[in-house]
Amino acid sequence: MPWEPGLYGAPAVLARPALRPRLVHDTLCVNKLYATAFLREHGIRFPDGRFPYEDFVFTARVWAAAPRVALVPDRVYVWHVRRSARRLSISLDRAGVDNWRARTHACRTAHAVLLDAGQKRLAREARAKFLDHELRMYVRELPLRDEAHRRQWWTHTRDFLADFDADDWARDPCAPGRLIGRVVLSSPEPRDLSRLRDLAARPARLCPPHARAGDGTPCWSADLPGVTLESLLTRPVPLLPLAVDAELRPCARGGFRLRLRLHELYGRVAGAGPESVEAEWRHRGRDGAAVRRTLPLRASADGTWSAEAAVPPDRLAAFGTGTWDLWLRVRFRDGSSRRVTAHALAGPGLLRRRAVPSPRHGVVLVGPYATHSGALALRVATGVRGATSVLRGRLRRLLH
C-alpha cells in the first residue's frame, strides 16, 4: 500500500512546511534525507531513552524548524509487515493499553513542539491527523479487546481529547474521526463499539440506527442528541458514509450467493436515486487482479435498496490461493458514485468456511470473514495443498 500517495504524487519544492500542512501526516523518519548541518543548527534529535513512536517527535521537530522541503515521488523505502511474527513491531503490537498511551503521549509531545515553535497551522493539522488516523485505527480494533482494555482505553482517550479546543472540532464535524471523538467525549462508558468500528473503516460506514433529536435534527442516537449529524444533510453524496450490508449464503449446488442491502441516510440516498452497484472482488496480493459485476439496485418496502449475485469460486480460484476484499461502487442517477466496502453480516450459516467441488482444481476452500473494520472478505485456497496451507495459517493465528 503506497504511503501518503496524495502527498508524494508529484515532485515539488516548498519554501517551508506550512505551505503543505499535510506533511505532518507523514510521521515516518526513514523515508527522508536530512541536511545534518540543519539538524545540528536546530538541535534536532530523537527523544532520549526508550520512547515508543519517537518518529512522531523527531519529524515534528523537523517541521517546527521550517526547513526548505523537496518532495520526491519515487519509491525510496519498502516496509515489509509480518503480522504473524513472534515479536511484533511497536506499531503492530497494539493489544495492550500501554501502546495507546505511548502513542497519545507522542502525539501530544509532537503537537506541543509545533505549537511552541509558532507553527499553529501545522499544530492544528497534527490534531486533525490524530483524529483521522490514530483514533480510527485503534477504534477499528476495540471490539477485539476485553472489557477491561476497553474501559481503560475509553477513559484515557476521553482525557486526551479533553485538551482539544473548539477549532479542532469545527472543521467538518461529521468527518469520521471527529464524529468518533465527539461520541467518546459525550459518553463516560464504552458504547456502540461495532457501529464506531464501521465508522472508523476506510471508507467510513454509518450503520443504522439513524436517529433524530426532538427537533428533527439528525444525531448519533436518541440518548446522545448533542452529537449532531446535521452536516450530513449538505455533504456531497460522493462523500457520504453510506452503509451497505453484505450477506453471503452458500448455494445448494456449490458456490455462494451475495446479497447486498443499501441503507437510507436521512433522505440523502433516496434524493440521489441509487441505480446500480458495481461489486468488485479484489485480490489483496496481486495488483489488478479483480472480478467485477454490475448489479441493478431495487428499492424495497422497508426503505432500503438491494442487489444479488452469484459468487463463483472457480473464477476467484483461477488466481490461486489468496485473500479477496469486496469493494462496491454505488452509482446514482445524476452520474455520481460512492465507493464503499460492505458491512459483513454474521449469523447462522454465514461467514462459515466451505469446501466447493471444482472440475479444474478438485476442491476450492472458501472462507468468508469480517475484517477488523467489519468489511466482508474471502480467503480462497485451491486443491488439497492450498486448503492445508490455509488451515495451517489459521492454526498459527489462533495460537498466536
Please, which residues bridge with residue 328 across strands? 279, 340
In the numeric block, the cell 523518519 is attached to: 29
Cell numbers for 280: 468488485
Residue 37 and residue 171 in one domain: yes
**118 in a domain, yes or no?**
yes
Residue 382 and residue 281 in one domain: yes
Residue 320 and residue 189 in one domain: no
**219 in a domain, yes or no?**
no
Domain extent, residue 258, equals 239-399
Across the chain, which has 400 residues, the per-10-residue mean pLDDT values are 89 96 94 95 94 95 97 90 74 84 96 97 97 96 95 98 95 94 97 97 96 96 96 95 94 82 97 97 84 95 94 83 93 96 88 80 86 93 68 64
The CATH number of the domain holding residue 311 is 2.60.40
H or E stretch at 272 = helix 268-272
**380 in a domain, yes or no?**
yes
* 34 CB-near residues (< 8 Å, 6+ apart): 62
* Cα–Cα distance for residue pair 347/324, rounded to 1 Å: 21
Amino acid identity at 4: E
Q: What is the pTM of this model?
A: 0.91
Name the maximum alpha-carbon separation found in the chain.
Answer: 72
**76 in a domain, yes or no?**
no
pLDDT reported for residue 366: 87
Q: Which of 201, 225, 251 is the last residue of a domain?
A: 201
* Cα–Cα distance for residue pair 163/107, rounded to 1 Å: 12
**131 in a domain, yes or no?**
yes
Q: Is the link from the previous residue into 203 a cis peptide, with omega within 30 of 0?
A: yes
* Cα–Cα distance for residue pair 400/392, rounded to 1 Å: 12
Residue 249 and residue 366 in one domain: yes
